[in-house]
């Protein structure tokens, strides 16, 4: 076991990526994610990897997809404005089933917004920013240590399911330094390579909810890559049955494996009468507020998704059945609250606390919401 060290979330992201086997970084620096690029450019070449600063974020993700097709584990990191530019290629990587990791360190928006302030404004964009029916895996760490763990998980899930995985955290998580003890080694998942001869290989041949094996360019397997709807040979088709089967499979390979993907933390929830639903840095405020509320004799609890997409509907529904009130706290004007309401289906009273002034939601305000006599407590 290593000793405790004081590092930033963005540093933990780099350490997690390298531990997971990342060997390619293509990106364009942007606050508040720039420390990731700054450290990658120092560390990757020394390990035989490649760092390239592209001309913009469209090209950045294109380079990542290309590197992954050639067999590398590849990533990029950005913030809102760059994340917007990446949307087209997120869809392309989803359709072509190219593993890659995209980090979005959220800052205030829209547009260039508040570059140095935290936000959770990109939660819905991470789910629906790219067009068409598509699945999404989005992980939301709440601490420096969790950034490390979930960066590793992001790489592993992207390799396991041949899909882009988005790591979504805010400026506070990116920049705050915390004492962490990082593991000496981590469990690594690698993409499955074909076990047939090149002449017998079809690049997109897979069972209904399956993940096709993936050779690298240059491994001796010839394959065609296209964002157009394609058949098992990888070539475009307008056949409706094939289109439906492909889109359904892209979803089902994720949805039938939620036990590998979904992660939800609960804290003091067992006998809670009032719960806070929060993620990312707000989850940390909520945990502190729950601790203080319990000290004040209030039966408070926390439900915090680490995987925000696919949304943990079952877990939120179960919590909603149990508590009288659920406070949803987000640094946006209400994004995941819609999913919470859908999952709760009227089983509990839902109260929102939303903030978009670039300042964090503090434990004190969440505690005040839970104190008797306020709107949220019964």
Partner 1 sequence: MGRNEIRIAGAGGQGVVTAGRILAEAAILSGSHATHSQVYGPQSRGGASRSDIVIATEPIAFPLADNIDLLFVLSSDAFAKYEPELGPDGTLIVDTRCAPESLNGDTPQYAVVDTARAVSGGQLVTGVVALGVLQAHTQCVDAEALRQAVAARVPVQHTKMNLEALDAGMGLVGGESS
Give the interface with partner 1 as residue ranges (CB under 8 A).
Answer: 4-6, 31-32, 115-117, 143, 171-172, 175-179, 281, 284-285, 287-288, 291, 360, 362-364
For partner 1, the closer of residues 10 and 130 by Cβ is 10
10 C-beta neighbours (distance < 10 Å), count: 27
Query: Token digits for 362?
Result: 């503090």
Residue whose token pair is 């955290």: 169
For partner 1, the closer of residues 10 and 84 by Cβ is 10
* Least distance (Å) between residue 311 CB and partner 1: 24
* Least distance (Å) between residue 182 CB and partner 1: 13
* Least distance (Å) between residue 284 CB and partner 1: 5
For partner 1, the closer of residues 162 and 175 by Cβ is 175
* Least distance (Å) between residue 179 CB and partner 1: 5
* Least distance (Å) between residue 120 CB and partner 1: 15
Q: Where are the alpha helices (DSSP H) in the chain?
A: 9-20, 34-43, 57-69, 80-96, 123-128, 144-161, 171-175, 240-255, 258-261, 281-295, 313-322, 337-344, 363-370
Residue whose token pair is 């780099």: 14
> How far apart are the C-alpha atoms of 375 and 357, rounded to whole Å?
22
* Least distance (Å) between residue 325 CB and partner 1: 21
| SS3 labels along 303-316 | EEECEEECCCHHHH
For partner 1, the closer of residues 269 and 343 by Cβ is 269
For partner 1, the closer of residues 160 and 284 by Cβ is 284
Residue whose token pair is 């950045």: 60
For partner 1, the closer of residues 68 and 104 by Cβ is 104
Query: Token digits for 215?
Result: 């050779």
170 C-beta neighbours (distance < 10 Å), count: 30
Cis peptide upstream of residue 196 (ω within 30 degrees of 0):
no
For partner 1, the closer of residues 99 and 363 by Cβ is 363
* Least distance (Å) between residue 213 CB and partner 1: 42
Q: What is the DSSP string of 145-195?
A: HHHHHHHHHHHHHHHHHTSEEEEEEEHHHHH-EEEE---S------PPPP-
Residue whose token pair is 């990116």: 174
Q: Tell me the chain's radius of gyration from C-alpha atoms.
A: 21
* Least distance (Å) between residue 8 CB and partner 1: 9
For partner 1, the closer of residues 6 and 188 by Cβ is 6
């Amino acid at each position: 076991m290593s000793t405790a060290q004081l590092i930033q979330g963005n540093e933990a992201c780099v350490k997690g990526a390298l531990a997971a086997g990342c060997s390619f970084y293509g990106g364009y620096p942007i606050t508040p994610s720039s420390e990731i690029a700054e450290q990658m450019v120092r560390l990757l070449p020394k390990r035989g990897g490649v760092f390239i600063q592209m001309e913009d974020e469209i090209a950045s993700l294109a380079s990542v997809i290309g590197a992954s097709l050639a067999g590398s584990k590849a990533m990029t990191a950005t913030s809102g404005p760059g994340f917007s530019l990446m949307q087209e290629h997120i869809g392309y990587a989803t359709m072509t089933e190219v593993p890659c990791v995209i980090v979005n360190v959220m800052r205030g928006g829209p547009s260039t917004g508040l570059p140095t302030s935290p936000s959770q404004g990109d939660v819905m964009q991470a789910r629906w920013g790219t067009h068409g029916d598509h699945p999404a895996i989005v992980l939301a760490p709440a601490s420096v240590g969790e950034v490390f763990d979930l960066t590793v998980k992001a790489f592993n899930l992207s390799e396991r399911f041949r899909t882009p995985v988005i790591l979504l955290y805010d400026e506070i998580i990116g920049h705050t330094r915390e004492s962490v003890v990082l593991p000496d080694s981590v469990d690594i998942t690698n993409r499955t390579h074909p076990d047939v001869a090149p002449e017998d290989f079809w690049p997109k041949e897979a069972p209904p909810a399956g993940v096709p094996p993936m050779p690298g360019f240059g491994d001796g397997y010839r394959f065609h890559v296209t964002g157009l709807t394609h058949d098992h040979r990888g070539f475009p088709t307008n056949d409706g049955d094939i289109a439906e089967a492909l889109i359904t499979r892209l979803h089902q390979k994720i949805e039938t494996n939620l036990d590998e993907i979904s992660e939800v933390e609960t804290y003091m929830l067992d006998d809670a009468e009032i719960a806070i639903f929060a993620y990312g840095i707000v989850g940390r405020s909520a945990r502190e507020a729950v601790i203080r509320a319990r000290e004040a004799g209030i039966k408070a609890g926390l439900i915090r998704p680490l995987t925000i997409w696919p949304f943990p509907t079952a877990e939120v529904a179960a919590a909603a059945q149990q508590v009288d009130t659920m406070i949803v706290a987000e640094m946006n004007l209400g994004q995941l609250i819609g999913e919470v309401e859908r999952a709760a289906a009227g089983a509990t009273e839902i109260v929102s606390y939303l903030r978009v002034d670039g300042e964090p939601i503090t434990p004190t305000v969440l505690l005040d919401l839970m104190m008797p006599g306020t709107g949220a407590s019964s």
